[in-house]
Amino acid sequence: MHKDLLRLARAERSVRIHLACCLAAAVVAGLLVLVQAELLAGVLSGRFAVAVLLPLALVVACRGLLGWAQGVLAGRAATALKSALRRLLLGRVEGLGPAYRSGELVTLAGRGLDALDPYLTGYLPSVAVAGVVPLAVVVRLFVADLATAVIVVLTLPLIPIFGALVGWTTKTVTERQWRALARLGGHFLDVVRGLPTLRAFGRARYQASVIREVAEAHRAATMRTLRVAFLSSLVLELVASLSLALVAVPVGLRLLSGSLDLRTALLVLLLAPEAYLPLRAMGTRFHAAMEGVAAADEAFAVINPPQEAGQETRPAGAATGTGKAPSARSAEKAGLAGRAAPLGGPPEIRLEDVTVRYPRREETALDRVSLVIRPGERVAIVGPSGAGKSTLLHLLLGFVTPSEGRVLADGTDLAGLDLDEWRRRLAFVPQRPHLFATSVADNIALGSAAGPDEIRAAAEAARVAEFAGALPQGYDTPLGERGANLSAGQRQRVALARAFCRPAAQVLLLDEPTARLDGRSEAAIVAATRRLAEGRTAIIVAHRPAMIDLADRVVRLDGGVLVPPVPVQGGEAR
Positive or negative, the CA dihedral 139, 142, 145, 151 is: positive
CA distance 260 to 266: 10
H helices within 12-52, ranges in order? 13-45
CA distance 84 to 5: 10
Contacts of 463 by beta carbon, 8 Å cutoff, 6+ apart: 493, 524, 525, 527, 528
Question: 378-382 and 553-558 as β-strands: parallel, antiparallel, unpaired?
Answer: parallel
Q: Which is higher by pLDDT, 335 or 248?
A: 248
- CATH 1.20.1560.10 positions along the chain are 3-305
pLDDT of residue 114: 83
Q: Is the pLDDT of residue 573 over 60?
A: no
Q: Which CATH number fits domain 339-425+504-574: 3.40.50.1220, 1.10.10.10, 3.40.50.300, 3.40.50.2000?
A: 3.40.50.300
CA distance 360 to 312: 16
pLDDT of residue 97: 55
Q: How many CA atoms, within 13 angstroms, populate the side-chain half-sphere of residue 289?
A: 21
- Of the listed ranges 25-34, 142-151, 313-322, 536-545, the least confidently predicted one is 313-322
pTM: 0.54
* DSSP-assigned letter for residue 90: H
Q: Is the pLDDT of residue 458 over 90?
A: no
State the helix-helix crossing angle for 53-91 and 262-303, rounded to 10 degrees.
10
pLDDT of residue 65: 93
Residues 272-318 pLDDT 10s: 888 888 888 887 777 667 777 777 877 787 777 654 433 333 333 33
Contact of 440 with 475, CB cutoff 8 Å: yes
Best CA proximity match to 517, nearest among 526, 509, 508, 528: 526
The hierarchical CATH code for the domain 3-305 is 1.20.1560.10
Q: What is the dihedral of CA 260, 261, 264, 267, to 10 degrees?
A: 110
- Portion of the chain with pLDDT greater than 90, in percent: 2
Report for 23-32, 342-351, 544-553: range of highest mean pLDDT: 23-32
Q: Is the pLDDT of residue 336 over 50?
A: no
- Confidence band (pLDDT; 50, 70, 90) for 270? confident
Residues 184-204 pLDDT 10s: 766 666 676 667 666 666 766
pLDDT of residue 378: 85
Contacts of 510 by beta carbon, 8 Å cutoff, 6+ apart: 428, 429, 529, 538, 539, 540, 541, 542, 547
Q: Which amino acid is at 202?
A: G
Residues 352-404 pLDDT 10s: 888 888 766 677 888 888 888 888 888 888 888 777 888 888 888 888 888 88
pLDDT of residue 61: 92
> What's the mean per-residue pLDDT of the chain?
76
- CATH 3.40.50.300 positions along the chain are 339-425+504-574
Question: 561-563 and 553-558 as β-strands: parallel, antiparallel, unpaired?
Answer: antiparallel
CA distance 31 to 59: 11
Q: How many CB atoms lie within 10 A of CB 4?
A: 16
- Portion of the chain with pLDDT greater than 70, in percent: 79
pLDDT of residue 312: 38
Residues 129-177 pLDDT 10s: 888 888 998 898 888 888 888 888 888 888 778 777 766 666 677 767 7
Contacts of 399 by beta carbon, 8 Å cutoff, 6+ apart: 95, 96, 97, 98, 99, 316, 325
Q: Order of strands across the sheet with 412-413?
A: 366-373, 349-356, 404-409, 412-413
